[in-house]
Amino acid sequence: MVVVMDGRASAEQVEAVIMRLEECGFSAHPIYGVRRIVIGAVGDRRVLNSLGLETMPGVERVVPIMKPYKLVSREAREENTVVQVGHVAIGGSQLAVIAGPCAVESRDQLLAAAHMVQQAGAAILRGGAFKPRTSPYSFQGLGEKGLKLLAEAARQTGLATVTEVVDEHSLELAVEYVDMLQVGARNMQNFRLLQMVGRSGKPVLLKRGLSATVEEWLMAAEYIMSEGNGQIVLCERGIRTFEHSTRNTLDLSAVPLVKSLSHLPVIVDPSHATGDRRLVGPMARAAVAAGADGLLIEVHPEPTQALCDGPQSLTPSQFVSLMEELRAVAAAVGRAA
Q: What residues from 124 to 183 belong to the interface with a second copy (CB under 8 A)?
A: 132-139, 166-168
Using CB under 8 A as the binding rule, whether residue 12 contacts a second copy is answered as no
Nearer to a second copy, 59 or 88 (CB): 59
Out of 19, 253, 317, 336, point to the residue binding a second copy (CB under 8 A): 253
Nearer to a second copy, 28 or 151 (CB): 28
Burial group, residue 155, by CB count within 10 angstroms (0-12, 13-18, 19+): exposed
**Residue 151 belongs to what H/E stretch?**
helix 144-157
Using CA atoms, how far residue 273 sits from 236, 244, 284, 296, 309, in Å, is 8, 11, 11, 11, 12
Q: How far is the CB of 277 from a second copy (least distance, A)?
A: 7
Alpha carbons 219 and 70: distance in angstroms, whole number = 9
Using CB under 8 A as the binding rule, whether residue 192 contacts a second copy is answered as yes
Alpha carbons 302 and 307: distance in angstroms, whole number = 10
Out of 283, 296, 299, 322, point to the residue binding a second copy (CB under 8 A): 283
Using CB under 8 A as the binding rule, whether residue 317 contacts a second copy is answered as no
Burial group, residue 277, by CB count within 10 angstroms (0-12, 13-18, 19+): buried
Q: How far is the CB of 213 from a second copy (least distance, A)?
A: 6
Out of 111, 112, 175, 279, point to the residue binding a second copy (CB under 8 A): 279
Using CB under 8 A as the binding rule, whether residue 290 contacts a second copy is answered as yes
Identify which range of 83-91, 108-116, 152-160, 329-337 contacts a second copy by CB under 8 A: 329-337
Positions 16 through 55 that interact with a second copy (CB under 8 A) = 29, 31-36, 38, 40, 42, 46, 49-50, 52, 54-55
Nearer to a second copy, 98 or 214 (CB): 214
Alpha carbons 65 and 85: distance in angstroms, whole number = 36
Nearer to a second copy, 94 or 190 (CB): 190
By the 8 A CB rule, do 269 and 295 touch? yes
Using CA atoms, how far residue 20 sits from 6, 24, 57, in Å, is 17, 6, 12
By the 8 A CB rule, do 188 and 220 touch? yes
